[in-house]
Structure 1
Amino acid sequence: MTMIQALRSAMDVMMERDPNVVIFGQDVGYFGGVFRCTEGLQAKYGKSRVFDAPISEGGIVGAAVGMAAYGLRPVVEIQFADYFYPASDQIVSEAARLRYRSAGDFTAPLTIRMPCGGGIYGGQTHSQSPEALFTHVCGIRTVMPSNPVDAKGLLIASIENDDPVIFLEPKRLYNGPFDGHHDRPIVPWSKHALGEVPEGYYSLPLDSAAVFRPGKDLTVLAYGTMVWVCEAAAQETGIDAEIIDLRTLWPLDLHTIVESVKKTGRCVVVHEATRTSGFGAELVSLVQEHCFYHLEAPIERVAGWDTPYPHALEWAYFPGPERVGQAFKRAMED
C-alpha cells in the first residue's frame, strides 16, 4: 500500500468496527478528499457517516468536539495543515482542555488529520509544518508517520484514543518515498519502505519511537519525510547513523532517544519546519538534559530556514541529504 491507501484502510477498518466513527471535512465525501484519502468511503458507509463540511475549519473542529463529547469518534480532515489556524481556538481552548476542565466527565476522542510539509510547490499557504505549535499544547497528542505500515497502525490507535489527536501526514510520502535529490517527490518504493501492510485491524502505541536504521556512529532524531532524507544522507556519507523515527512527537518516547544517544555519544536533530522554536529545539534540550555526560560532540540541528515558505525554491528550503550529511560530518569531527 501507499500511505494514502494505508490511511484509507485504517479509516475503513475503524468505520466497520465502530459505528460511532464518522468522517467529515472539506471535499472528503463524494470527492474523496483533495488527496483521495477518503475515496470510496461515502459510497460504502453512506452520507450520514462520511460527509462534506463547509469551508470553516473552526466549524468543523467545533462540531467534532461536540460530537466527541457525546459519544461519537469523529475523524476530521483539515485539507492542508496551513488551514488549521481558524480552528486553533477550538483545538486549544476546547478539545485539549475538555477532559481536565470537566474533571473527567467528558473526553474529546477526535482525530484531526492534516496533510503537512512541502513537495507540491504549494507555497506559503499549502506547505507548512506546524507540529511544534501542537506539541506545546497540553491535552492533545501529535503524531507524524513516515511510512504506510506505521501510518495505518498509528491512525487506528489515534481513532481509538480517548483524547484528541493531531495526525500530520507528510504529503511527499503519500504516494511513495522521497529520493532526496531531484525535483521529483516520488520514486518506486523499496521493499523496506513499503513493507506488507496488513489489510485488517492492528494498532501501534502512541508513545513509542522506532529505530528506523540501527547504527553506532551517531544518533539521528527525525520524523515524517526527514526520516528518508536522513537515510539518504547516511548512505551518501557512509556514516553509520542510527536513525530514530519519533512517530509520535508528543507524548515522546524519551527512553529510546536517551538509550541511543548514550550508545553513540553524538546526536543530530532534523526537521522540515522552520528552525527557530521548532520541535527540534525541544529535542536538543531533552538530549542535553539527559545525556550531557555521554555526549562526545555538540548536538547538531538541521531544519527549514527562518523565512516565509518559498514557492519556486521550496526544494532549497527544506533539508536535503547534502545539508544533513554536512551535519553528520560536523558531529563526527569533534
Structure 2
Amino acid sequence: MRILLQFPEGLKQHALTYAQEYERKGDEVIISAEPSYGACDIPIYEAKLLKCDKIVHFGHTKYMDIREIPVEYVIIKADVDVKGVMKEVLKKIAGKGYKKVGIITNASHLHQVSDIKEILREGGVEPFTAKGSIRCDNEAQILGCDVSALNKIRGKVECILYFGAGYFHALAPGAVEDYTLPPVLWADPYSKEVKWIDEELRRIQKKRKIALAKAYEAKTFGILVSTKIGQYGLESAHEIKRAIEKEGRKAVLICGGTFDFTSLNNFTDVQCFINTACPRLIDDQSKLRIPIINASDFWTMIRAN
C-alpha cells in the first residue's frame, strides 16, 4: 500500500521514525512537506496525484467526512506529568477564590482530562467539561478555530483552565469567540508555567475591534475563500457579497490555498478583507496593511447598521 503521511510542524521532527514503522509493515511511504494547519487541511489532491491508497494524518482528531480517499487519524498522546503543574493551578485558582472551573484542552491531552478533574475535586474545586461541536466532540476538546466546548460551560464557571502547550490553542477563546469571556488560566505541563492570560486575550480582541471599526468605513471588500477542503466557504462568501452589495458597497471574491499576506497587500484597491477561511488567519493581521475581519465579525457589523 502506498500511503501519504501528513504531520503538523511540531511533529515533523519525528516523521522519519513513523515512516520507517510503516515501511516495516510493507507500506510504501511518502511524507508531505506542506504545512499542515489541522484536520481541516487534508492533502487529498497531493495523495491522488501521487496515486496513494491512504492518507495518515498525525496530531488531530477527525474533523470531517472525506470520501475521496481513506484517511487514518493518529493522535500522539502527551506523555507528561499532570500532578506537578496542577499543584500550581490550584494555588492560582485559590488566590482568586474560584470554586467552579471549566476545563479545555487539545487532542494530545484528552486522555488526561479525568486526572485533571480528579485533582481539582481533591483541591475543593468543582470541574466542568462539555463536548463541543461535531468537529471536536471529545470531552473538553477545543480546536484553534472551535471553542464550542467552552461555550457550553461558560455560564456555569468562574474561570476557564486551558491545559496544554503553545499559544495557538491557549489564545483560541480570544481569537474566535465573542468579547465576554470568563478569566482564562493557562497551564503548560511541559514548561510547568501557569499564568492568567486575560491580558493577551484582551489584546487580540482589541485588534479585532480596531479592524471592525475600519471595516465600517470601507467601500470595497475582498472576500477570502479557501480552497482547502475543510475551510472551503464559497456559499458563505456569496452570502456576504450579496449583503455588501445590498448596502451599495463593492465586493470581489479572492481564492487561495494558503493566503500569503505579502501577496494580499498587493490588492491595493481593496479597503478591507473578509475572511471565510480559517478564523485564525487574522492572528497575523499586523503583517497586513489592509484591515481583515472574520465572517462572524462581518455579520456583527451588518446587524449593527
**Structures share fold, TM-score greater than 0.5:** no
Q: TM-score, normalised by structure 2?
A: 0.36
> Which structure carries more relative contact order (alpha carbon 8 Å, separation 6+)?
1
Q: TM-score, normalised by structure 1?
A: 0.33
